[in-house]
Structure formats: C-alpha cells, structure tokens
Structure 1
Amino acid sequence: MGYSFCTPIQQQTIPLILQGKDLIGCAQTGTGKTAAFLIPILEQIISSEGGFVKTLIIVPTRELAKQIDGIIDGLAYHSPVRSIAVYGGGNGEDFSQQQKALDEGADIIIATPGRLIAHLQMGKVKLENLRHVILDEADKMLEMGFYEDIMSIIAKLPTKRQTLLFSATMPAKIRTLAKRILVEPEEITIAMAKPAEGIVQWVCHVYENQKLRVLEHLFKEKQVESMILFTSRKAKVNDIVGSLHRIGLSAQGIHSDKTQQERDATLNDFKNRRFKILVATDILSRGIDVEAISHIVNFEVPDPEDYVHRIGRTARAAATGEAITFVSEKEQYRLARIEKVLGKQIDQIEIPEVLGEVPKYNPTTARPGGKSFKGKKSGSKSKKPFKWKNKPEKN
C-alpha cells in the first residue's frame, strides 16, 4: 500500500487495539486513522477462525463506506479476509446484491446505520459472534441524527466485544455516547480541530451578491489545477457549475439528490482529472481521499468543525495546498468562531476595485446576543493581490 512509516494516530492506537482495549481516537482528517484501526483489526481476523462476521464498521455516508471497503481490499489483498460495504441510496437491485453478499458471508461489514438496520430487520445479518465494532466519524453521525439508530444497532451486538470510536472532534454528545457503549476506554487525541500545517489559509470578504462575480474573476485570471468548491446549500451546486461553464471552465457538481451511480461517476471523473473543479456539499467534506487537490474554496463560511474537514481535503499526507473562504457581512461571526478555534486571524485577499466595495472585517463583531472574539494575529495583515501560482508563506 506504500506505507513506509506510522502516523502519530497509528503509532499510538495500533498497540492498544492489539491488546483488545476499547478506544476513543480523536484526530483531524487526513491523519491516517482509517489504517490505524484497520491494520490491527485485520491482524486479529487473519489469525482467527472464519465462518461469521467478526467486525462491524459503522460510518455516516455511503462514500466513506465504499472508501473503507477499498482500503480493506488493498490491505488484505494477500489474505482470505472478505469485506462488504452496505449502504443506501441505490435501487432495488443494489439492495438484493447486498443481501446476496451477506448470505455468502463476510468477515467485515462496513455500513451506514439506516441500511444496516434494514438488513438486520430482514434477518440477513448475523452479529451474535461479533468481536469488534468501530464507529468512524462518530461526530458526523450524531450531527446527521443517527444517535437512535446507533443505539438500536448496539443493542443487537454481543456485550463482550471490543469497541472503537473515532472522531475528528469531541463534543459533549460524543462523550455521552462513549460512556454508554465503551468499557474503560483508552483515549488518544491528536491535533484536535486543527488544520494540517501544509494548508495556507485565506479569507475573501465580499457581499453575498458579489460571490459569484469574485469567483468568476479569480477563475478567469488564475489557473487552477484541481479544486473542490464547497457550498452549504445543495440548491446552489448547479448554479455555480453553470456559472463556471459560462466562463469556459470544466466543472461538475455532486450532492445528496444525485443517485449513487451519478455521484460515483462524477467522483471517478474528478479523480481521473477529466475536469478541474468539483462543486460539492458537505457530503465530500469527510472521509473522501482524493490525491493532489491543490485548492479548496468555501463559498459560504461553515462551522469550525466543518471548516477543518473541508480544507482537510487538500494538503493530505504531508502535502501542501491552499484554502480560500468567502465571507459575507452576515457571516463574519462564523469567521470569528473559526479564528477562535485556530487561535489566530486568517490573512485576507484583496479583490480588484472594479468588482466594487467589499465589507470591512471586524473580528470583535459577533452574532447578535453572542460574545465577541479578537483573534491572535499570525503575522502581517497587509493586503496583497491574490496569486494562485506563487504560493505565500504558510500561516
């Protein structure tokens, strides 16, 4: 698989998992936590008898389920270990194929909560001999409202098992979940809620009705090798894609309303560099590993946790990349929250005067009724024209 060294999360968690301990692992996206739990679990499966499901991995999205299944294929290529990804969003044929694969047997099931419950209700999944259960991206699953589904699944599992919980953030609701399903867990925290060092971060202050014009201007003036542009509203995906097409740029969109086949085809075309710009909702902000993404654009300001995950799509595996966030006047309180998490203000991009005046940023201005924050400056705040080709110093 090309691994030559352990990342910090792998180095600290693999021995504990091999010892059979329950574990809470908290690490930012792109740090190698998938391999951190797969490698020791596969080691234990290979040395055990077969004939039943040994490991259940619960994930929030079908994309992450498929990605983990692919990683297992690579790691276990020279072993008899079998895995299956079980997820919704397809058609009746997909459901039947999953049922058939479950009937034939698998050592590892990677599943989204809703589809797994459907198979459990039909009696197609036997988990009475399960040895390991892993909740990956647990914080995202709770944000998506899967708490009751997770507890319903856990109730059907043997009480004597090893339980691993991995999350990029550790809010109170995750700790509540951990207390209910883990037994005397070890806890490993690696660089919680901090972007990778290789990411150069920018903000661009604009009025809401300027965002598309500024976006078009930047794309007209500067070349982009490979970019993911995130928008919080799926209704905007097609509008942004259309705008990019009108200025002659190759772009496609992906969001939850598209079928699984459409999403797979779009993502594969992007990975194969058939177009340069992928416009996406947060469906791609976690668990999707696409190599050599040079730039990330946030069309709106996300929450701090989603910000970390979004910009984490670039600068993966110790590489470098740039992240640009558009900030409207009404979104400045969100930027202040992000800067509070980072502990510094993010450098600003100045846009050409021809595009009109832009709002001034006041980091002490918070959402009405909220507390203000003044971040710690990371360096010079002098505004310089934005350049794609000449990368600035890292923040």
Structure 2
Amino acid sequence: MKFKDLGIHNPVLEGVEAMGFEEATPIQEQAIPVILSNKDLLACAQTGTGKTAAFLLPVLQKISDNPNHGEINTLIIVPTRELAVQIDNQIQGLGYFVGVSSIAIYGGGDGSSWDNQKKALVQGADIIVATPGRFIAHINQEYVKLNTVKHFILDEADRMLDMGFYDDIKLIMKQLPANRQNLMFSATMPPNIKKLTNEVLKDPAQISLALSKPAENIVQAAFLTYEGQKAELLKHLLKAKKMTSVIVFSSKKASVDQLTKEFKKMGIQAEAIHSGLEQQHREKVLQDFTNRQIHVLVATDVVSRGIDITGIEMVVNYNVPQDAEDYVHRIGRTARASSDGVAFTFINEEDMGRFSRIEKLIEKEVRKVKLPSHIGEGPVYNPNYREKKPFRGKKREKR
C-alpha cells in the first residue's frame, strides 16, 4: 500500500518521499491506521521490518495536524544510545517538512550534552527519544514536565526487560498523564512482556508478524570449527568475498579488540565497537561504517538490535550467542530493505547445544558447510554435546 492510502498526507508524505520510502511494509500497513485511531498498540515484529517508521509516521501526522510547539508531545524510551540516535535521525528525516523538534537523550557524553538535553526538556521538544537511566537522571532534577505527553512509546521492549529496566519504566510512567496513547514494540514476546503489557497498555490492538524468524532473503550457513581455527577461517571468508560492508559479532569486548587488531594487520579497514568505548568514538565508528570508510565492523551485541544500516552484505557470528533470540537480531543486520544478505556462524564443540536451540527457535536446520581444505577438519556436529567442566569439590570417600 501507498502511505497516502494509510492516512498519511502532506507534509509528512514529503518527508517519506525524501527518505526514499515508496510502499509500506506489513507492520506499517497494520500499525499506522491503529495509531492514527488513538488506540493503544502491542506490536511484535522481527528486526528490519520497518517498525520505527510504523510509529513515527502517524505520530508526525498528529503533530502536523495539531502543532503545539513548546510542549513535549511524544516520549520514546529505548534500550541503547545507538537506537536513540538512530530514531532521532529518522525523526529529522521523516519530519523535515513538518518542522518538529526532537532530541536523543542518553548518557556517556560531556557536560555540554547534559546542558543541551536539559534545555530541550525545559523548552519542550516535540519528541524526546531517551534511554531510561539518563532520562531518570533528568527527572530527578525536577525540571522535566511530562504533563503534556500524548504518546508514550516503548521500543525494543523485550530488550529493555533483558537489561533490567523494568523498574525504570515504571518510574517514568508515574510522571506521565493518565490520558495518553501507549505503544509497545517488541521483536519477541517472552512471558515478562505480558506483565509489562498489562501495566502499560489499555485494551490494546495487537499485531504479530513473523515472530523470531530471520528474513527469508538471508542465506544462513554454519562452519563447525575448533576455537583455534576461527581466526584463519574468518580471514579466508573476508578475502574470498571481497565485501565492503561486514559485521563480525563476538560476545566479549576483549575478543572484539583482538580481532580488530588482527584485521588491521592484514590491511583490512576494520574498527571495533562495544560498550567499553567512549560514546563519541562509537558514533564516529558507526558513521564511518555507514559511509563505507570502514569495511568491517567488529562488535559485541551492542549493535545487534535497532541499528538500521542498509547494504550490509555479510554478518559473521564469531561465536554462537548465549540467547537464541540474539541470533535472530544479529543476522537481521543484513538483508534489510528487501536486499539479500549472508550470515555465517562459527560453531565450536561447546556451542553446539546452543546452536541446536537456535535451530529449534527459527524452525529451520542451518546448512553446515565444510571447512576450506587448508584450515583442516573441524569437529563433528553433536547437538547433545555438553561441556565437561573440571571437578572442583572434594571426592567422597567410598563406603
């Protein structure tokens, strides 16, 4: 469907066209009319389906129809700084012809960033996009007035609960007016989401699309490797494919830093990104990667959700993620906006059980690819493998 057929009209449509959007995605087709009708909404859809525009467009439409600048109209709470910045950028693009004001509020900056955030909150930016911790820090200073908020949006709600933000969300809700529209977007629907849903939403409409399934246009494959073979295999893939936009996921910051060093020695334009780096540095790395000045981004799961960079050709899971859901989010960084993509996963002996759980979740057996001959033989796939841990207790005496 076209966006104008969903109730979106000028000047929001001009922003849609300027951003290059032509037809609505399924989540947008279903969510936009619900949000325009002022109903609460619980929406579950996998990453890369256009969730951000699904809630931004109708909100921008409402602000355009009834502008009241100088008051906070919409509050969007998100789990990470990167997602806050990305949504704020989309607001600026989609809402360019509406003339909305917005700001991303997150921690990690210097004193001037705090002052800019305070100024926007006091003067009343139309849309606030914030991470819970930093936003509560501002609330505690008692200059944040949220009595004019008409839309309260929780994006990546499942991720926020995973990160322990439940109490923070409840605290923020206490500051909001009772008469407001509540929208909750989540990629997955774990049991604890139901509790939060009951406390946030009032008689919500519900949308559920392709729960926890990777996009069909992602080619998935796995290599069975011993830990010592992984670095050489990764180098082989990067050289063989000659790709200009690759994300390599590793669960540990130390591993991310080490891999980045190795790539640079090989002459590969690579940079690391993880929570241990300064926010300003992380933003520059993401910008350089988006602009193809960096060809390989080596990352922890800090970028596995919510970072929308088109044209990522390949994702490599250097190790199997602990949470099966994170596998879906990691590989969802590629094959976005109807493009194709490739996702490789390296599985050592200890990861086999976890990868088996991933295959059950996505209801698909991922093809196991033979290692290149120069790397040697890898382990045999055994999903029932259990890591043997050293015995550390006292031996019982025989009776």
Counterpart of 1:162, as a letter, is: Q
- Please tell me whether the aligned partners of residues 220 and 247 of structure 1 are also in contact (alpha carbons under 8 angstroms): no
Name the SS for the 1:270 alignment partner.
Answer: helix
Deviation track 1:250-294 (CA, whole Å, cap 9, x = no partner) reads: 211111111111011111111111121110111111111111100
Distance 1:70 1:354 in 2: 46
- Please tell me whether the aligned partners of residues 371 and 377 of structure 2 are also in contact (alpha carbons under 8 angstroms): no
Displacement of 1:355 in angstroms is 2.1
Displacement of 1:348 in angstroms is 1.5
Residue aligning to 2:77: 58
Residue aligning to 1:261: 280
Q: Does residue 227 of structure 1 match 2:246?
A: yes
Residue aligning to 1:306: 326
Residue aligning to 2:168: 149
Deviation track 1:303-343 (CA, whole Å, cap 9, x = no partner) reads: 22111111111100111000000001000011101110121
Match 1:88 to one of 82, 107, 129: 107
The total of aligned residue pairs comes to 368
Distance 1:217 1:66 in 2: 34
Counterpart of 2:44, as a letter, is: C
Q: Does residue 30 of structure 1 match 2:48?
A: yes
Residue aligning to 2:368: 348
- Please tell me whether the aligned partners of residues 253 and 300 of structure 2 are also in contact (alpha carbons under 8 angstroms): yes
Of 61-70 and 206-215, more deviation after overlay is shown by: 206-215
Counterpart of 1:324, as a letter, is: F
Counterpart of 1:10, as a letter, is: Q
Q: Does residue 331 of structure 1 match 2:331?
A: no
- Please tell me whether the aligned partners of residues 103 and 124 of structure 1 are also in contact (alpha carbons under 8 angstroms): yes
- Please tell me whether the aligned partners of residues 34 and 68 of structure 1 are also in contact (alpha carbons under 8 angstroms): yes
Match 1:111 to one of 125, 130, 135: 130
Deviation track 1:171-203 (CA, whole Å, cap 9, x = no partner) reads: 001111001111111110011101111100010
Displacement of 1:123 in angstroms is 2.0
Counterpart of 1:16, as a letter, is: V
- Please tell me whether the aligned partners of residues 131 and 161 of structure 1 are also in contact (alpha carbons under 8 angstroms): yes
- Please tell me whether the aligned partners of residues 82 and 108 of structure 1 are also in contact (alpha carbons under 8 angstroms): yes
Residue aligning to 1:378: none
- Please tell me whether the aligned partners of residues 27 and 189 of structure 1 are also in contact (alpha carbons under 8 angstroms): yes
- Please tell me whether the aligned partners of residues 60 and 98 of structure 2 are also in contact (alpha carbons under 8 angstroms): no
- Please tell me whether the aligned partners of residues 350 and 385 of structure 2 are also in contact (alpha carbons under 8 angstroms): no
Residue aligning to 1:140: 159
Displacement of 1:367 in angstroms is 5.0
Name the SS for the 1:355 alignment partner.
Answer: coil
Counterpart of 1:19, as a letter, is: S
Residue aligning to 1:208: 227
Displacement of 1:127 in angstroms is 0.3
Q: Does residue 292 of structure 1 match 2:311?
A: yes
Residue aligning to 1:42: 60
Displacement of 1:31 in angstroms is 0.4
Relative distance call for 1:366 and 1:22 in structure 2 (3 A) is farther
Match 2:291 to one of 268, 272, 275: 272
Relative distance call for 1:221 and 1:39 in structure 2 (3 A) is closer
Distance 2:96 2:372 in 1: 53
Residue aligning to 1:181: 200
Distance 1:224 1:309 in 2: 21
- Please tell me whether the aligned partners of residues 294 and 314 of structure 1 are also in contact (alpha carbons under 8 angstroms): yes
Name the SS for the 1:159 alignment partner.
Answer: coil
Displacement of 1:93 in angstroms is 1.8
Name the SS for the 2:248 alignment partner.
Answer: strand
Residue aligning to 1:191: 210
Counterpart of 1:233, as a letter, is: K
- Please tell me whether the aligned partners of residues 46 and 210 of structure 2 are also in contact (alpha carbons under 8 angstroms): yes
Normalised by the length of structure 1, the TM-score is: 0.90
Distance 2:138 2:363 in 1: 46
Deviation track 1:319-376 (CA, whole Å, cap 9, x = no partner) reads: 100000000100001110111012121111211343233111123x1658xxxxxxxx
Show structure 1 runs of 5+ residues with no match.
369-395
Residue aligning to 2:37: 19
Distance 1:221 1:106 in 2: 49
- Please tell me whether the aligned partners of residues 141 and 147 of structure 1 are also in contact (alpha carbons under 8 angstroms): yes
Of 97-106 and 252-261, more deviation after overlay is shown by: 97-106
Distance 1:353 1:320 in 2: 28
Distance 2:258 2:382 in 1: 30
Residue aligning to 1:357: 377
Question: Quick one: percent identity of the two aligned structures?
Answer: 53
Displacement of 1:43 in angstroms is 1.1
Residue aligning to 2:178: 159
- Please tell me whether the aligned partners of residues 314 and 322 of structure 1 are also in contact (alpha carbons under 8 angstroms): yes
Q: Calculate the aligned-residue CA RMSD, in Å.
A: 1.5
Residue aligning to 1:129: 148
- Please tell me whether the aligned partners of residues 336 and 366 of structure 1 are also in contact (alpha carbons under 8 angstroms): no
Normalised by the length of structure 2, the TM-score is: 0.89
- Please tell me whether the aligned partners of residues 289 and 295 of structure 2 are also in contact (alpha carbons under 8 angstroms): yes
Deviation track 1:136-156 (CA, whole Å, cap 9, x = no partner) reads: 000111111111111111111
- Please tell me whether the aligned partners of residues 216 and 243 of structure 1 are also in contact (alpha carbons under 8 angstroms): no
Show structure 2 runs of 5+ residues with no match.
1-18, 388-399
Distance 1:59 1:255 in 2: 18
- Please tell me whether the aligned partners of residues 85 and 109 of structure 1 are also in contact (alpha carbons under 8 angstroms): yes
